[in-house]
Amino acid sequence: MTQDEPSGQVMSQGVMSTGEGMRIFPDVEACIDCGGCVVACKRTWDREIDNQRIDITTMAEGVAGPQGENADKTGRLAAGENPGETSLPMQCYHCENAPCVSVCPTNALQKEDDGFVSVHEDLCVGCQYCLSGCPFGAPQFPDSNDGTAQIFGTGGIMDKCTGCRERQEVQKGPACAEECATDAILVGGAGEIADELEARDSQPFFNDEAMAIIFGEEDAQLFQ
């Protein structure tokens, strides 16, 4: 462990610690696009068919990299080479410098003291500024004609991944991470995640700018 980390029960290789200070982060070397995380989220939170709080983005589908289909994706990306088919679980990563919070004009999105980025539904006017601000596609607007948004004719109340905060408060991991058969969704402190990626000989998928958004400038250095 490279710095102060949140405390909690170790549940799996992917879920290392929960609660205050945790982060959610994907390991693209491990993701096999099985959809287990999507199903687990929908089952846990009873989401509508068209509302996914986590989505799997697959790039270069069906394209093998120069060293095979599942070899060193992040290394090739870092070298500017073709990584081949790459799948990435996209959800709210509860960013340290969350752009959605910065652009929200009504304070409906807030970075809480324990690190979770939460939605205060009574303040959301459905302006969708958060949708344009988030580089990870986390905000969803499943109810475009309900509530306050109906008055303004906008996109409805914003919905996104909660980090399974209620589960974490009782020392359980997020449903998506605990369901993941390959431990492609990592949950823990920044140092724990950096150490786990290093142990797996994997690297972050995102560039330096995105890493600074997710972890903050100082903790992003742990991944270099």
Give the number of other CB atoms < 10 A from CB of residue 141.
20
Residue 158 is which amino acid?
M
Give pLDDT tens digits for 111-149: 999 999 999 999 998 888 999 999 999 998 887 655 554
Q: Which residues pair with 54 in a beta bridge?
A: 91
Mean pLDDT of 72-96: 86
Secondary-structure breakdown of the chain: helix, strand, coil percentages, each rounded to the nearest 5? 30, 15, 50
Asked whether 91 and 121 are in contact (CB, 8 A), the reply is: no
Mean pLDDT of 169-178: 94
Give pLDDT tens digits for 194-219: 999 999 989 999 999 999 999 999 99
pTM of the full predicted structure? Answer: 0.86
Nearest to 206 by CA among 90, 70, 54, 47: 90
Residues in the chain: 224
Q: What Å distances lie between residue 197 and 44, 80, 151, 160, 201, CA to CA?
A: 27, 20, 47, 26, 6
- Residue 7, pLDDT score: 47
